[in-house]
A = this chain, B = another copy of it.
Amino acid sequence: MTAHVRLLLAPFDPARETSEFTLRYPEAGGVVSFLGQVRAGGGCEALELSHYEPLTLPGMEGLAASALTRWQLDGLLIIHRAGVMLPGEPIVLVAAAARHRRDAFAAADFAMDHLKSESWFWKREKAGGQWRWIEPREEDRQDLSRWA
């Protein structure tokens, strides 16, 4: 029952991270992972995530701790990028290892809903050469209410 939480300023390899994570938990029956990447082909030229050092990583650690108390997990991995990312680059990776797959699915889903709507990241997107801030979405608040 361990959380591995990292905030990275440079690209990472989700396949390597997931497989290293999985190797730590041979007693887990299942591992659910979510990989979020910068969408290619939608006109987005780059995505920039800024964070606030004193809050962002501690907030992610708090989220991981709360998922670990809520479900029966062997381990939970949360990796989030900050900085400028290009289309196709990974933004976020969440992986949950559990004896029962239902716990792993729920924990990964929960972590993503909270990362997307509650964690301390501000995003702007470059399209047509112009940077544009991304506003909060009503959809994200609805996602959160699933776990209330």
Contact = CB atoms under 8 A, between A and B. Distances in A.
Contact of A29 (B16, B28, B36, B104): B36
Contacts of A143: 102
Interface in A89-122: 99, 101-102, 104-105, 108-109, 112
A35 B28 CA distance: 10
A27 B14 contact: no
Contacts of A18: 15, 18, 33
Interface string A32-55: 111111011110000000000000
How many A residues are at the interface, by size bracket? 20 to 34
A42 to B, nearest CB: 7
Contacts of A108: 32, 105
Contact of A27 (B19, B27, B40): B40
A101 B36 contact: yes
Nearest to A146: B102
A11 interface: no
A26 interface: yes
Given A15-B22, A105-B109, 14 more contacts: A14-B22, A15-B18, A15-B19, A18-B33, A22-B35, A22-B37, A26-B40, A26-B41, A26-B88, A27-B39, A31-B34, A32-B33, A34-B101, A101-B112
